[in-house]
Structure 1
Amino acid sequence: MTEYSAFKVELTEHVVHVQIDRPEKANAMDAAFWSEIVDIFQWIDDTDAIRAVVISGAGKHFSAGIDLALLASVASQLGQDVGRNARQLRRTILRMQASFNAVDQCRKPVLAAIHGQCIGGAIDLVAACDMRYCSSDAQFSIKEIDMGMAADVGTLQRLPRIVGDGVLRELAYTGRRVQADEALRIGLVNRVYADPEALLVEVLDIARQIAAKSPIAVAGTKAMLSYMRDHRIDDGLDYIATWNAAMLQSEDLRIAMAAHLGKQRPTFRD
């Protein structure tokens, strides 16, 4: 398996654990992070043996967001011409957006296990995941407003569908900290666990439960849910009819029904 400088990646059976691995920097997102995460999720998407993904952070925190050294490096490359600066900044922002688009568009379910700080760019990352879980020590903040900028890598586009428009506006305008109990109440996370150790154990177990299902059915379910973010109900119904016209012919349906009738656990091919 490929070695990464910003991540540790471990595949166990059908679940891959992607851990941000810069604990000495509170898992701040440096230049390597943004390119490596694209490569990792391309590999995940291309590897049929992988059926679910868990993202976590090493050390005391999930992630403190974008590394300030990276921002300083981007700023140092700007010149005197506003037009050329704007073109360069736009290309940089689009490349960073593509990093989290790779997470969002992954065909496999992605679960975030969040502990400690989840700040700034880390919010963009977890918003691109299918589900979010946290430990009781977790703290969330859309910190960009305190840096004099609007969040530009996905938070403002994805979170309204997760926590609701009004709640997001308050958090984005104020940058205030959200503790684990409030995160659960507003729907930012699915569940809160007592500590980071219990969090990781339970989230990996949920991922294994997903991985035990038909990969054809899981992929179709994710595709339909993602499609419905931007389409009408009748469009979605038409799409699932076309999708299942093919997918219901999979052997997985027969295997699942036979296992159910025989009160056995089904086993599906990759």
Structure 2
Amino acid sequence: MAAGLRRALCPSWIPVSQSRLMTSSVMSAMTSELRSLRLLQEHPRVLHVQLHRPSKRNALDLHCWRELVQVFQEVSQDPECRAVVVSGAGSAFTAGIDLGELGSLLAALPAQDAARRAWALRRHILEFQESFSVMERCPKPVIAAVHGPCIGAGVDLISACDIRLCSQDASFQVKEVDMGLAADVGTLQRLPKIVGSQSLVNELAFTARVMRAPEALSCGLVSRVLPDKPALLEAALEVAAAIAARSPVAVQGTKVNLLHSRDRPVSEGLQHMATWNMAMLQTEDIPKSVQAALDKKGPEDVPFAKL
């Protein structure tokens, strides 16, 4: 990467509450209260969300599950933000769900009959699912930058992201069967749509074996493998900056329609696309983009309005 672009992407890390991104009082207050996430900004239109429990290998505690929902609900509405990078602090992306807190949650279920305990447990599962579904629904593209182990709920998390990059030392494990349960917050639903082999997904889910970075690349779980964590974060931020330079009307419309079409017939996806673009083709971003191309300029030179 050119030195100038590297400086643009990777200045010293600053809390979002001190940056131009997410300047509302509500977001600033929320940022100061986060306990398991850290919000960073290395580019004016890119938010970097870092899982930040390095002493616990970023195990997902109850604070983290709730804070992911808070952050991505705000990101979805923030016109300043155009792309998000998710990474992990320390030596691991995440060790998965915090087993101690999971045990406490199960122990705290109501001491009533099975139906009432099941109803309470279902509510908790749906809340956990929302922590990752909110990332998938966020109209801003989300890039997972995975280094070291990505275990259990970590695979659920990255499966809800739009782009996945990893470092050479990354490993992936659908760990739940080793814990006596079936994965219940997204892996079994999303991973088969990402990986090109149902047989491979079944093997990983049934055996909990570890998948290393080269295999993750070959099967399509990740789109790139970088030599180490610094190179990984640099690449993830470079991709995010490239996305942020494009028309937000075009980028967010692309994500919405990719997700809509993923689980529907081609004919229905085309109908939805036609309805979407009968409004969005009227954007001023199109003549701006065309003129920039004619003038031999890149999208980063076009002053696209906020969305």
Give 2:118's aligned residue: 86
Q: Could you tell me how far apart the structure 2 residues matched to 1:167 and 1:236 are?
A: 28
Tell me whether 1:268 sits opposite 2:300 in the alignment.
no
Give 2:284's aligned residue: 251
Superposition pairs of residues 106-185 of structure 1, within 5 angstroms: 106-163=138-195, 164-185=197-218
Q: Secondary structure at the match of 1:246?
A: helix
Tell me whether 1:46 sits opposite 2:77 in the alignment.
yes
Tell me whether 1:203 sits opposite 2:236 in the alignment.
yes
Q: Could you tell me how far apart the structure 2 residues matched to 1:174 and 1:36 are?
A: 31
Q: Could you tell me how far apart the structure 2 residues matched to 1:80 and 1:244 are?
A: 53
Q: Could you tell me how far apart the structure 2 residues matched to 1:243 and 1:87 are?
A: 38
State, as a whole percentage, how many aligned pairs show the same letter: 50
Give 2:38's aligned residue: 8
Q: What's the offset of the Cα at 1:80? A: 5.2
Tell me whether 1:191 sits opposite 2:224 in the alignment.
yes
Say how many residue pairs are matched. Answer: 270
Q: Could you tell me how far apart the structure 2 residues matched to 1:157 and 1:237 are?
A: 23
Q: Could you tell me how far apart the structure 2 residues matched to 1:205 and 1:117 are?
A: 23
Give 1:32's aligned residue: 63
Give 2:271's aligned residue: 238
Q: What's the offset of the Cα at 1:116? A: 0.5
Give 2:127's aligned residue: 95
Q: Could you tell me how far apart the structure 1 residues matched to 2:265 and 2:296 are?
A: 38
Paired letter, 1:190:
S
Deviations 1:185-220 (A, max 9, x none): 111100000001100001100100010000000011
Q: Secondary structure at the match of 1:152?
A: coil
Q: What's the offset of the Cα at 1:81? A: 2.2
Tell me whether 1:228 sits opposite 2:241 in the alignment.
no
Give 1:71's aligned residue: 102
Q: Secondary structure at the match of 1:132?
A: strand
Q: Could you tell me how far apart the structure 2 residues matched to 1:267 and 1:201 are?
A: 24
TM-score normalised over the length of structure 2: 0.86
Q: What's the offset of the Cα at 1:267? A: 2.5
Q: Secondary structure at the match of 2:49?
A: strand
Q: Secondary structure at the match of 1:228?
A: helix
Structure 2's unaligned 5+ residue stretches are 1-16, 18-30
Q: Could you tell me how far apart the structure 2 residues matched to 1:119 and 1:239 are?
A: 36
Paired letter, 1:8:
R
Q: Could you tell me how far apart the structure 2 residues matched to 1:88 and 1:151 are?
A: 18
Q: Does 66-75 or 108-117 show the bigger shift? A: 66-75
Q: Could you tell me how far apart the structure 1 residues matched to 2:159 and 2:101 are?
A: 22
Q: Does 83-92 or 251-260 show the bigger shift? A: 83-92
* Pairwise CA RMSD: 0.9
Paired letter, 2:108:
Q
Q: Could you tell me how far apart the structure 1 residues matched to 2:112 and 2:285 are?
A: 60
Q: Could you tell me how far apart the structure 2 residues matched to 1:216 and 1:70 are?
A: 41
Q: What's the offset of the Cα at 1:236? A: 1.0
Q: Could you tell me how far apart the structure 2 residues matched to 1:241 and 1:157 are?
A: 28
Q: Secondary structure at the match of 2:262?
A: coil
Tell me whether 1:21 sits opposite 2:72 in the alignment.
no
Q: Could you tell me how far apart the structure 2 residues matched to 1:86 and 1:13 are?
A: 45
Paired letter, 1:6:
S
